[in-house]
A and B are shown apart, each in its own frame.
Chain A
Amino acid sequence: METKIGVFICNCGGSIKNINFDAAREKVAKIPSVTCVNLSSNLCLGEGKEKMLSYIKEENIERVVVAACSPELKEHIFRQVLEGAGLNGHFFSMANIREQCSWAHEGDVTVKAVELIKMAVNRIRLLQPVEKKELSVNKEVLVVGGGFPAISSALQFSRIGLRTTLLEKKPNLGGKLREIEGFYSLETSSMIGAVEEDENIEILTSTEVVGVEGKIGDFTVRIRKGAEEILRNFGAIVFATGYETEVSPQDFQLKLGINIISQERLAQMLQASSVERKPESVGFIYDVSDENSRLPTLATLNNALTLKERWGSEVYVFCKNVKVDSEGVEKLYREVREHGVMFLKFDEKPRISAEDGRVKIEAKDILLGEDVTLTCDLLVAEEKLVPAEETEALSTLLNIRTDSRGFYQDENVHLYPVSSERGGIFFIGGCRSDLDFQRALVDVSSVVMGVYKLLSPGKILVEAERVKVDRQKCRTCLTCIRVCPHSAIQLVRVDNEKEVAEISDLACDGCGICAAICPAKAINFEGYSDEQIVAQIEAIGAS
């Protein structure tokens, strides 16, 4: 039986003057499948909407084309009318006869308006129904990591009633928390105490993730503790695995030793109750191996200030740029300078050599425009931020790309900063970027929001089989599985014989890459099939 398509043309309150609407109506009525054409002057307003609704019901219209203004303006209103009439919202299309037709040209544009309408009709005539279905989700969250972001997000999940498992590969929770607690008035022991007491939080230490199967709302995670492996189910996974630092002595042509130390070693010395001999002069150097990171600036400023206060040494900082683009850092920088710390900015890498048991630094200071030679008792070398050891293995396991520096999560960072290409998998804190403490805090509560939105209703509404593989045509070439950025495609065995690709409705993002790339044309993206697009193009110039 022929599908009944209704076309509603609106002249926008009579403001569209260069279309002959009666002629257009006559031509549109002759397009196959069009059973009714209605002319209106106020389709988006109350009266127009009521008329549209009653027409749809009286004429038993199944699919609707609206020819009016840009869909940007009123599309949502027409969709509401369709919903009110009990029609599938998928069977709807708009022809923009105002902005892209009437307003774009001078003189009569009836022919173009009719063609635009015909394109829309041709498209929706071939549409197949897409049903929506509800899938239930697991409401438990897995947080991987044991540092500040991990602990803090577990506590916040618990506040909103989501049960959380905190999984740390080391024997104890805390991570780098103890190193930074002094700067931010944190108490490591009380934070760890809070997670331990929380009945919504389960803690697994000396434990690793070795496998992740499944998809958003329904992950199966293989967990290894010692020789034992168990499987657990979670609705969402948050990775907060942190970063590591390394000092590359080759950048300085010198070995770390008594005179050249890392920021970490300096922090330990500053925390110790006494030192053997207070250094009279200390140099800091960064921007040598990585000039695009904020953490070396932050560590230098914090340590330089403490050093001035505790030891009163002369302090010199060699760098290219002071990274002040974090909250409160410009203020800290000023305070550090007021304490007498000198900043020397170089363009070419300074030369560092040993001299009489001290460290000699030769640099061309671009602020002075002169060569400067300084001899310090101690040189604090740049620490380079590197991804945590397991990052590479985990990213392969998760099939999530890393960025150019090897940290998690390449794409999509700007849409929702903590999410990844795979729904239900999130990255927060130092494992995704070099964040200052304030930004890390924001990451924590923002991931809690993301997970809450996903899991708290207990179910997800998805479009069923919008992107579908034709099992007859699939030749198991695996191209789609390789290109899918969302890991939404898997192989399934059919009738104990051949294996074919299958797309998960839950994990699919509707990007269409698989449909475009499939060499056997076995994947159909409903609404954008070749047939539907060709039918639209054929309408151009046909009248």
Chain B
Amino acid sequence: METRDVLVIGAGIAGLASALGLANGGFSVYLIEKEAAVGGYAASFCCKATDVCSKCSVCVAPDKIKEAVIHPQITLLTNSTIKKLSGELGDFRVEIIQQPRYIDVERCIACGLCTEVCPTEPKAVYPPSAEATPFSYILDEGLCLRFKGEDCKLCRESCPTKAIEFELKSKKQELSVGAIIVATGFEVFDAREKGSLGYGRCPNVLTGLDLERIFNREGYLKLPTNGNEPKKIAFVQCVGSRDENHGYCSQICCKYAMRLAGLVKYKDADAEVTIFYIDLQTAGKGFAQFYEEYKESIRFVQGVPVEISQTSSGELEVRYEDISQGKVCREIFDLVTLSVGISPRHDSWNLAKILGINLADQGFFDIKDSLGPNETNVDGVFLAGTCQGPKDIPDSIAHGMSAASKAIQVLSEFASRRRGNQRGH
């Protein structure tokens, strides 16, 4: 029998690209996602268009998410993780644990009645983030009185579609698949690790991810401290990239910082925006023309700040070495954005152990050799997206498609080899 089932681990943008490629190519896909919603980070980013599209490709995510969720060839398992793997190429067996959601995704109509009646503060049952798919309410075990031994069932009684079920337990299932694509993504660098840059200490120091989400959910920028519009804004590049612990470039930060800076200028032409950088990464299809425009309106300073502190009046003092003048300068800003980079997931080693695949020296999953961008040391297990190394959205999609292509190639060969063997008997 020909194996046409593939497992994709992780439903971020790369995993979705792999799953859709395979499904549209006639394969059946199990798409498992650790979180309650699919889409990964890309789903929460903001559109960075001004009068023209800045080609950040964030808008690609919702289409892919919707297509995958309703695709008849894709079985989506949310809240699921992989526990065990046995077998080999063409005949893997995978044990999956699915944590209970307590709220039936099919039955939840997102009406909000459960949240209204929930007696705890903060509420134990609440809506998912605005961009979540599937858009189903979430019941938080840690907050729900029921899981603390009390006999509260207000939400279940209020639910008009009887979508709430407290008694669910985690579910174990075994899947048989021919190939596996690992697309578990990345972690955003935790800017608190760079204590001197003030993140977590000064409220007006944000990260690139914070800014993405503020623009996505609110549409405009205001100072976290007093709600005023910031007038002097700085971006600090290479936070968590190209340093002693991260011997790589995250590949996304220069472009997102420039696009976000362009967006800030577009929303408020009087805002003064400065970008502190080491080397500007402006290569890539179609980016040159944007860079030429950004050069006109944004100040670029070579050299990254060493310290950011808050003055008594709540402004931010940025200390940096102005290389062109050869001296240490201090400058006051209203808001500083740290362009945080891509870090490998801290739980990667665990999955690497289960699957038997290698980690590279930085903690990303390793490829077998430089001629195969997706192949791991285990035949039939492929990598897609940022779990293999930093990538932007278009590169992640291409890498996801490439992984799907490799899975189809090995399964086609496996099938014809098996047919050959059968004829031989």
Contacts and interface: CB of A to CB of B under 8 A. Distances in A.
Given A15-B109, A345-B302, A457-B26, A325 B326 contact: no
A404 B409 contact: no
Interface in A253-307: 291-294
A438 B391 CA distance: 12
B395 A42 contact: no
A1 interface: no
Given A12-B111, A366-B302, A416-B397, A45 B161 contact: yes
A453 interface: yes
B237 to A, nearest CB: 11
B127 interface: no
Nearest to A428: B398
A210 B409 CA distance: 32
A325 B111 CA distance: 45
Interface stretch (A110-118, A156-164, A471-479, A480-488): A156-164
Interface in B309-347: 323-326
Contact of B401 (A326, A345, A416): A416
A334 B413 CA distance: 41
A445 B406 contact: yes
Interface string B1-39: 000000000000000000001001110000000000000
A14 B66 CA distance: 27
A230 to B, nearest CB: 31
A345 B278 CA distance: 11
Interface string B253-285: 010000000000000000000000001111111
B60 A442 contact: no
A442 B285 contact: no
B111 A415 contact: no
Interface string B81-113: 000000000000000000000000011011111
Interface in B357-382: 369-374
B412 A14 contact: no
Contacts of A327: 389
B286 interface: yes
Given A76-B70, A324-B249, A331-B248, A446 B26 contact: no
Nearest to A409: B285
The listed residue with most A CB atoms (<10 A of its CB), out of B109, B323, B403, B406, is B109
Contact of B279 (A321, A369, A439): A321
B412 A160 contact: yes
B160 A441 contact: no
Interface string B386-399: 00010001110111
Contacts of B408: 160, 449, 452
A502 interface: no
B287 interface: yes
B219 interface: no
Given A325-B251, A449-B402, A456-B26, A45 B107 contact: yes
B175 interface: no
B409 A160 contact: yes
B58 to A, nearest CB: 9
A433 interface: yes
A185 B399 contact: no
B25 A453 contact: yes
B363 to A, nearest CB: 14
Contacts of A291: 282
Given A12-B160, A76-B70, A369 B326 contact: yes
Given A325-B249, A403-B285, A12 B109 contact: yes
B354 interface: no
B282 A322 contact: no
Contacts of B285: 403, 413, 417, 432-433
A225 interface: no
A489 to B, nearest CB: 25
Contacts of B160: 12-15, 41-42
B366 to A, nearest CB: 12
A417 B279 contact: no
A370 to B, nearest CB: 8
Which size class do A's interface residues fall under? 35 or more
B110 A159 contact: no
Interface in A28-66: 41-42, 44-45
The listed residue with most A CB atoms (<10 A of its CB), out of B21, B57, B107, B111, is B111
A448 interface: yes
B404 interface: yes
B247 interface: yes
Contacts of B25: 449, 452-453, 456
Contacts of B299: none
A367 B323 contact: yes
Nearest to B57: A414
Interface string A61-104: 00000000100111010000000000000000000000000000
B168 interface: no
A73 B284 contact: no
Contacts of B242: 324, 330
Given A12-B109, A73-B110, A418 B398 contact: yes
Interface in A402-426: 403-405, 410, 413-418
A184 B370 contact: yes
A442 B52 CA distance: 29
Contacts of B279: 321-324
A122 B235 CA distance: 51
Contacts of A13: 109, 111, 113, 159-161
A109 to B, nearest CB: 16
Nearest to B403: A445
A442 B395 contact: yes
A161 B324 contact: no
Interface in B157-193: 159-161
Contacts of B284: 292, 294, 325, 433
A439 B394 contact: no
Contact of A330 (B248, B370, B404): B248
B289 interface: yes
A159 B417 CA distance: 12
A74 B287 CA distance: 38
19 contacts: A13-B111, A41-B160, A69-B110, A160-B408, A184-B370, A184-B371, A294-B283, A321-B280, A321-B282, A324-B279, A326-B251, A347-B324, A368-B326, A404-B286, A413-B55, A445-B403, A446-B401, A449-B21, A450-B401
Given A69-B109, A72-B66, A292-B287, 15 more contacts: A12-B111, A15-B112, A15-B160, A41-B160, A156-B409, A161-B412, A294-B283, A321-B281, A322-B279, A366-B323, A404-B288, A441-B372, A441-B373, A446-B405, A452-B25
Interface of B: 21, 24-26, 55, 57, 60, 66, 70, 106-107, 109-113, 135, 159-161, 242, 247-249, 251, 254, 279-289, 291, 302, 323-326, 369-374, 389, 393-395, 397-399, 401-406, 408-409, 412-413
Across chains A and B, which 8 residue pairs bring their CB atoms closest together, nearest first?
A13-B160, A15-B111, A449-B405, A414-B57, A292-B288, A446-B401, A445-B402, A294-B283
